[in-house]
Amino acid sequence: MSELDTRRFVARDRNWQPKGYTPDYKTTIARSPSQALVSIPQSLSETTGPDFSHLKMGKYDNDLLLNFNHGGLPVGERVIMCGRVIDQYGNPVPHTLVEMWQANAGGRYRHKNDSYLAPLDPNFGGVGRTLTDANGYYYFRTIKPGPYPWRNGPNEWRPSHIHVSISGPSISTKLITQMYFEGDPLIPKCPIVRTIANPDAVETLIGRLDLSSNVPMDCLAYRFNIVLRGQRQTRFENQ
């Protein structure tokens, strides 16, 4: 981050982000701070780097249809997730690392602690990574994840979503969030989504159908732009 960017830094709007303690989302009861937060001045190590521009990526790191192929293609609706990573002023964040992980088409993660009865897909790993280009654009090809039940309540389901981690231009701008899919009726019913009081903030988490980015006879595309820092920063997943 340059001296100019530091000087122009815009603090996050705390009304834009959800409160840490929201009992309807039961995990926040244990996770939310019980004491006042302590402000720690940022050092140079937090406001600069790391530099990912020379990170060597695999041929299929951003193609989840092929990066876990064991003799066949994964089951499910083929989709593209794409967009830009920008800062609070609309400037692109180039050559930064974007990582994503998700459930398969049945709503199950390839994780030892996921015991949901939906089967694992032998040809789907559920993880990918890429670097943004010089204009901040990123691109993934994947399978639309399925919804799944979770133990927050007796009959609650997570909407279809993809987890995203973005490193930004410095350690202090690292963001972890989720992309939901436009038109999903489970979005307004999700206790995690309902922790966000501002409807406009919820909209920043929804990937929009983008017919201009489709691959004809192959994939629908969903555009998901991500804002790092500032008053319109895309919502943190861990807040």
Catalytic residue, chosen from 161, 180, 222, 235, is 161
**109, 138, 180, 222: which one is catalytic?**
109
3-class secondary-structure state, position 170 = strand
Burial class (CB in 10 A: 0-12, 13-18, 19+), 229: buried
Q: 163 catalytic, yes or no?
A: yes
116 labelled catalytic: no
3-state helix, strand, coil in the chain (%, to 5): 15, 25, 60
- Catalytic one of 84, 129, 141, 163: 163
Question: 28-35 long-range contacts, Cβ below 8 Å, gap at least 24?
Answer: 28/195
- Out of 84, 129, 158, 229, the active site residue is 158
- Pick the closest to residue 132 from 50, 229, 52 (CA basis): 52
**Active-site hit among 25, 148, 180, 222:** 148
Residue 205 near residue 182, CB atoms below 8 Å: no
Q: Is 70 a catalytic residue?
A: no
Q: Is 111 a catalytic residue?
A: no
109 is catalytic: yes
- Report the catalytic residues: 109, 148, 158, 161, 163
